Amino acid sequence: MALDRKVAYIDLATGNIETRPIPLDVRKKYLGGRGLDAYLLYNHTEKGIDPLGPKNTLMISAGILGATLASASARTHIMAKSPLTDLLGSANMGGFFAPELAWAGFHHLVIKGKAKDPVYLWIHNGEIEIRDASNLWGKTVTETQWAIREELDDEDVKCAVCGPAGENLVRYANVMTGIKNSAGRSGMGAVMGSKNLKAVAARGTMDIKIAHPMDALNYNRRFIDQIVSAKVNQTQGTLGTPFIWGATNSWGGVRCRNFQYNQCEYADDIEPERLDEIATETMGPYHMTGCFGCQVHCRAQYKIPSGPYAGKYDEGPEYTSEGAFGGEPDCKNAVTVLTSNHLVDQWGVDNLEIGSIISWAMELFEEGILTSKDTDGLELRFGNDEALLEMIRRICFREGWLGDTLAEGGIQASEKIGKDSFEYLIQVKGMSNLHSDERATPALALGIATGSRGSDHLRSRPAIDLYHLPEEVLRKVYGNPVPYDGPLSSDHTSYVGKAWMVFWQELCYMGVDCLGICKYHTTFLGATLPNFEDWTKVLYYNTGLEMSPTDIWGIAERCYNIERLFNLREGLTRDDPRKGDTLNHRYFDEPCLRGAPDVIGATIDRKKFHKMIDEYYEHHGWDENGVPTPETLKRLGIDKEPSHLL
């Protein structure tokens, strides 16, 4: 059964390994994946520890549906205290690692301590070994995976690895699997590097008994039909996620030149159709690929067509690479975007963070805050493709004063650079914003301001707010599984009812992350895609666990509050520009200069924004400072945490 997958506690310093079953009552409170990881983090990590020290605890997990018959049950979640933000560190990736971990007998790994020398974990059919990785240190992401497969003489081994950026403790290094599946955001690769943990390798042939196999297959067929019939997923299956960037840029909702503009002009060479053309030419008509058990196939396979990396294979680029290496630095060359995407995949670093921090440095250079002396003569200007590629390399290998400084992350870098550099940094809780511009969309602005791991589009993104859906449709979505009779608005520029939409999406995404399925399989970009009611059936047919939609809602709320408790313990306060639920002043003070009529001139209204925060806190059951009330904690059964039940 899926419910018999275990948790393993691994101490890299002592070599001690202990495995335990996950009690059913713990499952019923946290399910698995991100939710159970949050519980484990809060229970196994001391307050105030150094994120890059041996006392930080690293969780790697599969969702409760990992490797079952559920569609797209492939998500791997990774959690620790973040070396980038000093708050919650959390990252999620697709691919094939999570199912392999489940087939090998485990849903959760709790990794403590630091190995004396580089090591990797070998997990195979209920057994875990700590193996020497000295020969792997310094290798790229793909080199590492193939070297492990060769050593183990098994091409089906799946690995979660850190690349050179993680080894060099770049504070926003990724954990990677496959060619490009990235547990980006918040620096989990740096945590691996700090522990001398190069990789976790998994191979399993242990059966997972499906509770009701025929019902699971039949319902999943309906699930798949619902997913692949959605126009948004049909488009993704053709153009990949860059279609989102193309549409958003046309409207005027992306960052360009850090935060100077909200639209990247004359960008035909990096439009999704152009990238699709390159991928089709180099890989043939069947150039789209996907993760385990997924029918959407949302990313392209490509070979870089020219330049010093010509012929190199990769996958993507994603929506995020379009913005990070195209829009933000104003580099509008397809080869530059494809090459940048390849470099971050090989060296294992967050594309969003590195693209944003380089674009920030470009603005500082053009403002005279950084000089040629700081850049070692590099003309770090917007539109300089060569400078972009060079800075990616310097950061990943901490070369030069600026490369080493930017590798520390935006807040730490701003403290070293000084002057007014922090004022130009577009971040929340120390994590750089997505390349989108939310000044015309108050709901999306609230979502990034309140994200539990920092500025985020994958913690809460009510993107369907842009569709101008009738209010009765919005009520059908946002009134389930718990009733909501408050205000809602179909106007994306309105502040009315947006706090509830952000709150609802938070719990929706938490539910997905506990189950271990993809967000493209729920209410993210499509209003008709599956959510709470569908999940109860998928969960029951595959695992036998009986829950109502409101049960899953309650689990999601409980897990989100555990994350909040962790952040509060580590210093989060409401209005702190470095560790709070707020936005850079430019959102309020500088109007949008480009785009559609409903975008030009837009800013976020400070007074209305603060009112939205108040409403958002009220929906969560938090006080005016964003602290869960005793009544809320008792209602959710977490008033006595940490409980150390697992």
Q: Is residue 215 part of a domain?
A: no
Those residues whose C-beta lies under 8 Å from the C-beta of residue 138, and which sit 6 or more positions away, are 164, 167
Burial of 106 (0-12, 13-18, 19+ CB in 10 A): buried
What tokens does 182 get? 């990235």
HSE, side-chain direction, 13 A CA sphere, residue 376:
10
Q: H-type helices in 129-271, by residue range? A: 141-152, 164-167, 188-194, 213-228, 231-239, 242-251
Predicted confidence at residue 265, as pLDDT, reads 96
Predicted confidence at residue 500, as pLDDT, reads 98
Predicted confidence at residue 448, as pLDDT, reads 96
- 418 and 337, same structural domain? yes
> Is the pLDDT confidence value at 251 over 90?
yes
Predicted confidence at residue 226, as pLDDT, reads 78
> Tokens 């403790």, residue?
169
- Residue 550 maps to which CATH number? 1.10.599.10
Those residues whose C-beta lies under 8 Å from the C-beta of residue 230, and which sit 6 or more positions away, are 526, 528, 529
What tokens does 89 get? 């560190």
- 299 and 172, same structural domain? no
* pLDDT tens per residue across span 546-575: 999 999 999 999 999 999 999 999 999 999
Q: At 108, which helix (H) or strand (E)?
A: strand 106-112
Mean pLDDT taken over the chain: 95
Q: At 341, which helix (H) or strand (E)?
A: helix 334-347
Predicted confidence at residue 6, as pLDDT, reads 97
The residue from 203, 219, 237 where one domain ends is 203
- Residue 153 maps to which CATH number? 3.60.9.10
Those residues whose C-beta lies under 8 Å from the C-beta of residue 150, and which sit 6 or more positions away, are none
> Is the pLDDT confidence value at 222 over 90?
no
- 580 and 453, same structural domain? yes
Q: Which residue has the higher pLDDT, 522 or 50?
A: 50
- 291 and 189, same structural domain? no
Cβ atoms 51, 89 nearer than 8 A? yes
* pLDDT tens per residue across span 40-85: 999 999 999 999 999 999 999 999 999 999 988 999 999 999 999 9
Q: What 8-state DSSP symbol labels residue 436?
A: B
Number of structural domains the chain divides into: 3
Q: Indicate the SS3 state at residue 130.
A: strand
Q: How many CB atoms lie within 10 A of CB 606?
A: 13
174-202 burial by CB neighbour count: b if 16+ within 10 A, else e? bbbbbbbbbbbbbbbbbbbbbbbbbbbbb
The residue from 432, 453, 478 where one domain ends is 432
- Residue 310 maps to which CATH number? 1.10.569.10
254 backbone dihedrals φ, ψ, rounded to 5°? -120, 160
Predicted confidence at residue 52, as pLDDT, reads 98
- 601 and 571, same structural domain? yes
Residue 11: pLDDT band (50, 70, 90) is very high
Q: Is residue 225 part of a domain?
A: no
Q: Is residue 230 part of a domain?
A: no
What is the mean predicted confidence (pLDDT) over 232-249?
A: 78
Q: Is residue 428 part of a domain?
A: yes
Which domain, by its residues, includes 406?
A: 252-432
- 456 and 399, same structural domain? no
What is the mean predicted confidence (pLDDT) over 136-151?
A: 98
Residue 118 CA to residue 341 CA, distance in Å, equals 27
Closest Cα partner for 539 from 253, 246, 270, 212? 212
Predicted confidence at residue 247, as pLDDT, reads 86
Those residues whose C-beta lies under 8 Å from the C-beta of residue 136, and which sit 6 or more positions away, are 118, 120, 144, 147, 148, 198, 199
CA dihedral of 533, 636, 458, 398, whole degrees rounded to 10: -150
Residue 160 CA to residue 32 CA, distance in Å, equals 19
- 525 and 386, same structural domain? no
Residue 594 CA to residue 53 CA, distance in Å, equals 45
Cβ atoms 435, 356 nearer than 8 A? yes
> Is the pLDDT confidence value at 598 over 90?
yes
> Is the pLDDT confidence value at 502 over 90?
yes
- 328 and 456, same structural domain? no
Q: Is residue 214 part of a domain?
A: no
* pLDDT tens per residue across span 183-220: 999 999 999 999 999 999 999 999 999 999 999 999 98
Predicted confidence at residue 523, as pLDDT, reads 84
Those residues whose C-beta lies under 8 Å from the C-beta of residue 309, and which sit 6 or more positions away, are 339, 342, 343
* pLDDT tens per residue across span 264-307: 999 999 988 888 888 888 887 768 888 998 888 888 889 999 99
Among 414-423, 515-524, 602-611, 637-646, which stretch is predicted with the lowest mean pLDDT? 515-524
Among 25-34, 352-361, 452-461, which stretch is predicted with the lowest mean pLDDT? 452-461
- 185 and 106, same structural domain? yes
- 415 and 308, same structural domain? yes
Q: What percent of the chain has pLDDT over 90?
A: 86
- 257 and 143, same structural domain? no
Predicted confidence at residue 109, as pLDDT, reads 98
- 299 and 386, same structural domain? yes
The residue from 400, 432, 464 where one domain ends is 432
Residue 214 CA to residue 217 CA, distance in Å, equals 5
Residue 263: pLDDT band (50, 70, 90) is very high
Residue 522: pLDDT band (50, 70, 90) is confident
Give the pTM. 0.97
What is the mean predicted confidence (pLDDT) over 411-418?
A: 98
Pairing of β 6-11 and β 181-183: unpaired
Q: Is residue 437 part of a domain?
A: no
Closest Cα partner for 187 from 320, 49, 84, 59? 84
Q: Is residue 217 part of a domain?
A: no
Q: Is residue 271 part of a domain?
A: yes
Predicted confidence at residue 529, as pLDDT, reads 80
* pLDDT tens per residue across span 441-494: 999 999 999 999 999 899 999 989 998 999 999 999 999 999 999 999 999 999
What tokens does 252 get? 């005027």
Predicted confidence at residue 246, as pLDDT, reads 85
What tokens does 146 get? 């193939």
Q: Indicate the SS3 state at residue 543.
A: helix
Among 50-54, 422-426, 518-522, 582-586, which stretch is predicted with the lowest mean pLDDT? 518-522
What is the mean predicted confidence (pLDDT) over 77-99?
A: 97
